[in-house]
Chain A
Amino acid sequence: MLLVPAVLFGLLVTLQWRTQAERSELSVRYNAPLIDAANALQTEQNDLKSQLAELRARLDEIQRNASSQSGAAKELQTRLDELKATAGLTPQSGDGVVVQLDDARNVSVSSRDVDKSICHATDLTDIVNTAWKGGAQAIAVNDERVVNSSSVYCVGSTIMVNGTLMSPPFNITAIGPQNSLLGAFDDPSQLQDIKQRRDVQGLGFRVTRASAIHVPAYSGALNVRYAEPH
C-alpha cells in the first residue's frame, strides 16, 4: 500500500534533483524542434544502415551461390572476399585491446579546465592513429568501424563518427597483436596530452587487454564518385 506513494515520492525527489542539475541545459529549450529533427534523422539513419546491410548480404549470397559454378567465378569471389575484409566490410573477431575514453566525472574542476576534462574529436583521432601504429588490424569506435573514408567530426560538444551521432563514454576496440598495441599506448611519447589530462583533470582514459573482441562491419556508403581507377 505504501509502495505506490513511495515510488512516486522517489520519482519526484529524483526529478527535482535532476531538474536542478539540468536547468542550464534546459535554458536552451527553444532548441527542441532542432533536437527532435536531429534525433529523427539519426533514427532514420539506423534504419537505412540495416536496409543496406541486408541488401549487401543478399548480393553476397547470390554471388556466392553463382561462384560455385565455375573456376573463374570462384577466383573472383575469393578476391572480392579479401577486398571486403581489407576495406572493413566484413565483421572481425580476435584478441586486442579496448580503450575507454570518457569525460571527467569530477565536477570540481575549475571552469578554465572544463575544456581539458572532456573528450574531443582530436582525442579519438589520436587514439585511432596510435592503434594503427601499434599494428591494429581492425578498429571500431562505439561500434562504428573505422574505414578509409571514416572521419571524426565535432560540432559544439557533439561528436560524429562515420556521420553517426555519438556521446561519451567512447569504447575504441582494436583487434591486433596485444603486446605491440599495449606498447604503442604505453609509449610515453604517445598521447601525452590525453595522459596528462587523465592525471590532472581526471579525464577517463584506460587501455585494457581484451580477448575475443568483436568489431562490426562498416555499414555506411562507399561513395566512390570522383575517383576513377587507372
Chain B
Amino acid sequence: MRTNTGAIWASVIALFLGFAAVTQVHSQDVFSRSLNLETPSSLTTLIANLSETNNELRNEIFDVRRDVADAQASVSSGTGTLTEAERQIAQLRVFSAQSAVSGPGISIRIDGGFDERALSDLVNELRNAGAEAIAVNEMRVGPKSYFTGTVDHAIAVDNRPLRGPWTVRAIGSPDVVYVAMTRTGGIIGQFELIYRTTHFGVTKETALDLPAQVVAAR
C-alpha cells in the first residue's frame, strides 16, 4: 500500500516536473514566441528597427568612449574636465527640451477637427521617426508632456489650451521624418480616413526654430 501511494506521488511530481520543464523552455523564449505570429514583412520591419537602434547605440558608445579618453587626458594634464561637462550640459538641455533649438525637419499643419489622443499618437510617431525636438504651435513638447482635451475642442499641451489650426513642427532628418509620416498606411493617411474633413499639410523644412519648454503648470 505504502509503495503504491509513494509511486503515485512520484508520478504526479514527475508529471509536474515534465510540465514545468516544457513551460520553462517556452517562457525563456518569450520574444520569439510572439514573433512566431508575425509575417515576414513585419519581421523585416522589426529587424530594420532593431538594426537602427543598435547603430545608434554603437555611435553613442563611440562618442562616450572618446569623451572618457578626453576626460582622462584633461585630468592628467591638469586642465580639468570643464569643457567636456559643458558640452554634455548643452546636449542634455537639447535632449530634455530645456533649450531653444534650430534645425531642419518637417511641419504638419492640421486644419479642422482633431483631438488629444490623435495628437499624442502623432508625437509618438514623430519620436519614432527620430524627431529630436517637437513643438505644437508655440509649445515645445518635453519629456513629461501630456495632452488633454478641453470642452471647447481645443487641445491642451501640459494644461495649456491650444486652438486649431495646429502646426506641429519637428526637427530631425527631413527626408526620414517626412516619409515616415506620409508613407502609404502611415499615420497621416490614417488620420485622413478618420478625420475626413480635416486638412493635413506636411512640408519639409530647411530651418525651424523651436522654443524651449515652459515649465508645466499644474
Query: Does A106 interact with chain B (Cβ within 8 Å)?
Result: no
Q: Report the stretch among A92-100, A195-203, A206-214, A219-227 that lies at the interface.
A: A219-227
Residues 103-127 of chain B, each 1 if its beta carbon lies under 8 Å from chain A, else 0 = 1110000000000010011001101
Which residues in B have their C-beta under 8 angstroms from that of A48? 54, 57-58, 61
Which residues in A have their C-beta under 8 angstroms from that of B173? 226
CB of B117 to closest CB in A, whole Å? 7
Number of interface residues of A (CB under 8 A): 95
Query: Does B145 interact with chain A (Cβ within 8 Å)?
Result: yes
Within 8 A of A (CB), among B18-41: 18-19, 21-23, 26, 30-40
B143 near A86: Cβ-Cβ < 8 Å = yes
A45 near B101: Cβ-Cβ < 8 Å = no
A129 near B47: Cβ-Cβ < 8 Å = no
B42 near A155: Cβ-Cβ < 8 Å = yes
B81 near A63: Cβ-Cβ < 8 Å = yes
Number of interface residues of B (CB under 8 A): 98
Query: Does B179 interact with chain A (Cβ within 8 Å)?
Result: no
A165 near B43: Cβ-Cβ < 8 Å = no
> Do most interface residues of chain A lie in helix, strand or loop, or is the interface mixed?
helix
Residues 31-50 of chain A, each 1 if its beta carbon lies under 8 Å from chain B, else 0 = 10011011101101100110
With A31-B43, A132-B144 in contact, do A18 and B22 touch (Cβ < 8 Å)?
Answer: yes
Q: Which residues of B contact A (CB under 8 A)?
A: 7, 10-11, 14-19, 21-23, 26, 30-40, 42-47, 49-54, 56-61, 64-65, 67-68, 71-72, 74-75, 80-82, 84-86, 88-105, 117, 120-121, 124-125, 127-128, 130, 132-133, 141-148, 171-173, 209-210, 218
